[in-house]
Amino acid sequence: MTDHSAPQPWLKDFVWLAAIWGASFLFMREAALEFGAVATAAVRVSVASLFLLPLLHHRGQVPVLQRHWRRVFGVGLLNSGIPFACYSYALLYITTSLSSILNATVPLFGALVAWVWLKDRPTPLRMVGLAIGFVGVAMLAWGKASFKPDASGLSSGWAIVACLTATLCYGLAASATKKYLGGLPPLVTATGSQMGAALGLALPAAWFWPGTPPSWHAWGAAAVLGVLCTGVAYILYFRLIEQAGPAKALAVTFLVPVFAVGYGAALLGETVSGWTWLCGAIIFAGTALSTGLLGHRTKPA
């Protein structure tokens, strides 16, 4: 029998990953204020590529990437380039807390895309979870979204659309990875995806590069985004999958908003309304059901 009371060896990685990804919203916001959305995303994936490439070379896996670079680069643009730009844009207009709660819909969209694209039909319980999750998203968007610009010309509605576009891209990328990149070493996928995103964002970033040189503060935020929140986070994530399995690794999505909300409150003075917490709880419950994290029983070992 497995001793479930004993500390799990993967628990430390789980908490660290949630803490790092929770901080990514804060650093994205700080960088995007000076770089803009597209340039922030481009710098992030470029730094991550430079960080991961030596590790790939050290593992002797560069030839594997060379053989499969077209598919890996394509998935990278969908998995990193577009979502990072969307979130960087959104964080200019909405709080880090709200964006992190919307990010928790990633498994929800992943289950929906797998159902439509890969014909991975969910069980009735998971279908109920999909419905509950999307009701929570609709409630949250209804209460927060406004497409009418405020006095400063900003609109929260398009920011929420950008967040949901990013989560949909993550869902598409997950199914594309399963369909086209199965069997590749995780470090190859991680490194190649960042390189593909960097190449895909190079021209748009040059076009939208800020006219005023970003400060060292913004460069520092972008560097942390690339090294810690992308490079190191990928290493922790894939190690977590290896040690605990994909289901437990996926559950990190539920802990990320806790850290993001805490950082936003402590460092940016953000507050979270009761309505936001309620909608967030509905989204988390629906996502947990739709991915099988609730209602799934495992046999004792």
Number of domains forming the structure of the chain: 1
Integer Cα distance of 194 and 55 in angstroms: 13
pLDDT one-digit tens code per residue, 237-284:
877 777 776 656 767 877 888 888 889 888 888 888 888 888 889 988
Residue 6 lies in a domain: no
The answer to whether residue 46 scores a pLDDT higher than 90 is: yes
The answer to whether residue 219 scores a pLDDT higher than 90 is: yes
The answer to whether residue 52 scores a pLDDT higher than 90 is: yes
Give the helix ranges, DSSP H, for 152-251.
Answer: 156-180, 186-207, 216-226, 233-244, 246-250
Per-residue pLDDT at 143: 66
Residue 132 lies in a domain: yes
Per-residue pLDDT at 248: 67
Which pLDDT band, with edges at 50, 70 and 90, does 299 fall under?
Answer: very low
Sign of the four-CA dihedral 108, 32, 79, 15:
negative
Question: Which residue in this structure is represented by tokens 């709880």?
Answer: 281
- Average pLDDT over the chain reads 86
User: DSSP letter string over 14-55?
Assistant: HHHHHHHHHHHHHHHHHHHHHH-HHHHHHHHHHHHHHHHHHH
Question: Comparing 68-72, 191-195, 243-247, 253-257, which segment has the lowest mean pLDDT?
Answer: 243-247
Integer Cα distance of 231 and 44 in angstroms: 10
108: part of which helix (H) or strand (E)?
helix 106-117
Per-residue pLDDT at 114: 84
Residue 286 lies in a domain: yes
Domain enclosing residue 125, as ranges: 11-290
Integer Cα distance of 58 and 89 in angstroms: 35
pLDDT one-digit tens code per residue, 108-166:
888 888 888 888 887 888 888 888 988 888 888 776 666 666 655 566 788 989 999 99
Residue 222 lies in a domain: yes
Residue 3 lies in a domain: no
Sign of the four-CA dihedral 245, 170, 27, 212:
positive
Q: Within 10 A of 218 (CB to CB), how many other CB atoms are there?
A: 21
Per-residue pLDDT at 101: 87
Per-residue pLDDT at 5: 47
Give, in order, the Cα–Cα distances in Å from 32 to each of 29, 62, 72, 215. Answer: 5, 32, 27, 12
- Expressed in angstroms, the distance from the first to the final Cα of the chain is 5
The answer to whether residue 2 scores a pLDDT higher than 60 is: no
Kindly give the interhelix angle for 62-76 and 186-207, rounded to the nearest 10 degrees.
Answer: 50
Per-residue pLDDT at 202: 97
Phi-psi region of 211 (alpha: psi -120 to 50; beta: other; left: phi over 0): alpha
Q: How many helices and strands in the chain, by DSSP H and E?
A: 14, 0
The answer to whether residue 4 scores a pLDDT higher than 70 is: no
Residue 40 lies in a domain: yes
